[in-house]
Amino acid sequence: MNDQDKLSVLLIEDDEDDYFITKKYLKGIPDKEITLDWISSFEEAKRALTTSQHDICLIDYRLGENTGLELLQYAEEIKYRTPTIILTGQVDHETDLEATEAGASDYLVKAELNSRQLERTFRYTIKMKQTMERLRQARDNLEAEVEVRKQTEAELVTAMKVAEAATHAKAEFLSNMSHEMRTPMHAILGYAELGSLDIDNEKEKHTQYFSHITASGQRLMELITTLLNLAELDTGHTEFNMQEADLMEIIEAATADHAKQLQDKSLLLKINAGQADHTAQFDVIQVMQVTNYMLHNAIRYSPNERQLTLSLTPAEFKNSDGRTKAAITFSLSDQGVGIPEDELESIFDAFVQSTKTKTGAGGTGLGLNICKKIIEGHQGKIWAENNAQGGATFSFTIPLVQTAAGN
């Protein structure tokens, strides 16, 4: 058994019965060697957090006269880095929000607890920790580099302030997006699993529905991971998993994911793809993120009862060395508000939003910037243009065959 199969858990719980129940569930997790340490008092827990070397910390919401939220606040003060999960006796949305705002990685209800849920939550939480550590390290490296340059070049003082503001906006965006996407993802996966086990009537039909729900939840998890790896995209060293795939299948999956949103706004999505082969070499997860974002954006900013037109067409473009490459172009046209002409390029910059769509109600303008980095990572190009009849068209072109840099 290697180190990845070992897990050290700290349980802060004042009820001995709950300790034994949790211990039983942990023993039921397969293929894991789990070490459990139990602390039953608030003061003892505060002392333990200063020296804890555990992988996961489970904290009961009620700790005698104190609460787990108070302990989370103390953990924040001492910069406790171990992922924390709050345990509570009842479903309470307000408590869920308070726990997340206080720094908890997740929130679990004791009555719904079991070995499978703990294993899934542990796996997700540890993955989140690893990703956030990489982001934190990338941020620290950036701050260190800025500090060095600041000492030698006075003009970098202004640039440093801009970088700090961008880093703060990025961290806030990632934190909010992680919480907003994690809750529905857990519900999708959890209820799909329960439904597949409990359904008696029309089992085949409903199992198919739950299969779609599970697939959507898994794609949502992959999108979260992609989003939290934004720092890697910024470095330009992201390794794309290039494989031969059908771009039309990606579009069909994106359309299925957005079927309800299209129906809610009575939008007609017209797809022009012809009979040509739409196979190319690309990273399926990354390109799916681009198509999903473009479709989501088109729906969001289109008035009700309008038409969206999605096209796939053969294309070609020239490399930097002048050689022509066979390619495929994805275009999505809407009948929305359009884009000011002087913003057609700047909307692809990080933290920039069009003045026609920026409402101040959320978002930090990262979506199109992520799309641009992904498409450019595929040796392609992405752009936007206004339609003569109103609205805008977002397009990207990727080569059919990926080549090594410089070829």
Per-residue pLDDT, 176:
58
Dihedral sign for Cα 46, 47, 52, 56, please: negative
Question: Which element (helix H / strand E) includes 183?
Answer: helix 156-198
Give the residue, 53 or 260, on which the prediction is more confident.
260
Do the first three CATH levels of 3-113 and 242-399 match, i.e. the same topology?
no
DSSP string, 306-318: -EEEEEEEEEEEE
> Could you tell me the residue ranges of all domains in the chain?
3-113, 117-235, 242-399
Rounded to an integer, the average pLDDT of 378-399 is 93
- Distance in angstroms (rounded) separating the CA atoms of residues 303 and 297: 12
Which residues make Cβ contacts (< 8 Å) with residue 262, sequence separation at least 6?
255, 268, 269, 299, 308
Rounded to an integer, the average pLDDT of 369-384 is 91
Per-residue pLDDT, 251:
94
Phi/psi region, residue 351 (left: phi>0; alpha: psi -120 to 50; beta: rest), is left
Residue 363 pLDDT grade (very low, low, confident, very high; cuts 50, 70, 90): very low
Topology (CATH level 3) of domain 3-113: Rossmann fold (3.40.50)
Nearest in space to 302 (alpha carbons), one of 330, 332, 329: 332
- Which CATH architecture is the domain 242-399 placed in? 2-Layer Sandwich (3.30)
Burial (CB count within 10 angstroms: exposed 0-12, middle 13-18, buried 19+), residue 372: buried
Q: What are phi and psi of 9, to 5 degrees?
A: -120, 135
Residue 360 pLDDT grade (very low, low, confident, very high; cuts 50, 70, 90): very low
DSSP string, 41-71: -HHHHHHHHTT---SEEEEESEETTEEHHHH
Per-residue pLDDT, 406:
46
The total number of residues shown for the chain amounts to 407
Per-residue pLDDT, 407:
53
Beta strand pairing status for 242-246 and 307-318? unpaired
- Is residue 244 scored above 90 in pLDDT? yes
Reported in sequence order, the residue ranges of 122-277 that DSSP labels E, i.e. its strands, are 242-246, 268-272
Per-residue pLDDT, 83:
87
In the block, residue with structure tokens 């994805």:
330
pLDDT digits (tens, 9 = 90+) for 2-23: 566 788 899 999 889 989 998 9
- Distance in angstroms (rounded) separating the CA atoms of residues 333 and 297: 11
Judged by average pLDDT, the poorest of 131-145, 229-243, 280-294, 366-380 is 229-243
Judged by average pLDDT, the poorest of 34-38, 39-43, 93-97, 143-147 is 93-97
Per-residue pLDDT, 249:
93
- Grouping H, G, I as helix, E, B as strand and the rest as coil, residue 367 is helix
Rounded to an integer, the average pLDDT of 38-54 is 88
45-54 contacts at long range (C-beta below 8 A, 24 or more positions apart): 45/12, 45/71, 46/71, 46/74, 48/10, 48/12, 49/74, 49/75, 49/78, 49/80, 50/78, 52/10, 52/80, 52/82, 53/8, 54/8, 54/9, 54/10, 54/82
Strand partners, 398: 328
